[in-house]
Amino acid sequence: MANSQEQTYTPPPETQKLIDELYREEVLQARAMDPVEKMMLGGRLFEAALTFVKAGIKHQNPGASEQECERLLTERLRLQQLLENSR
């Protein structure tokens, strides 16, 4: 049910125009970059994303110790893995 709804949804023309323009920019940027540098961004982006996730965990759990925050981060990553594997 959810899948058929997802497949038939089409964004409004103005939104689609914006999506297409943003994608075009991404493609042109990617073509202009050094491929090796672009390749190494994957791990760097992951580290940057972790910083934001950790900040979110601390914000949601103000009294939690560093150890507790790390445990919650482990839980989040485990959940992400489960979601990825279930698709």
Partner 1 sequence: MNPDEATIGVSEALNERRIPFILAGGYSSNFYGIPRTTHDADFVVRVSAAEFQDLPTALGRDFERIEQLSFETNTGTLRQEFQVRGTRFKVEVFKLSGDPHDQASFGWRVEADFGRTKIFLPTAEDVVIWKLRWGRPEDKEDVRNVLTVQRGKVEWPYIEQWCMQHGTFGLLNQIRETVPEI
Question: Which residues of the shown chain bind partner 1 in the complex (CB under 8 A)?
Answer: 20, 23-24, 26-28, 30-31, 33, 35-36, 38-50, 73, 77, 84, 87
Cα separation, 64 vs 20, whole angstroms: 43
DSSP symbol at 33: S
**Smallest gap from residue 30 Cβ to partner 1 (A):** 5
Which CB, 5 or 63, lies closer to partner 1?
Answer: 5
What are the DSSP calls for 42-72, one per residue?
Answer: HHHHHHHHHHHHHHHHHHH-TT--HHHHHHH
- The least CB distance from residue 75 to partner 1, in Å, is 12
Please, what is the minimum distance in Å from the beta carbon of residue 12 to partner 1? 18
CB 73 within 8 A of CB 65: no
Report the residue number, 43 or 62, with the smaller CB distance to partner 1: 43
Residue 56 and residue 64 in contact, taking contact as beta carbons nearer than 8 Å: no
Q: Which is nearer to partner 1, 29 or 61 (CB)?
A: 29
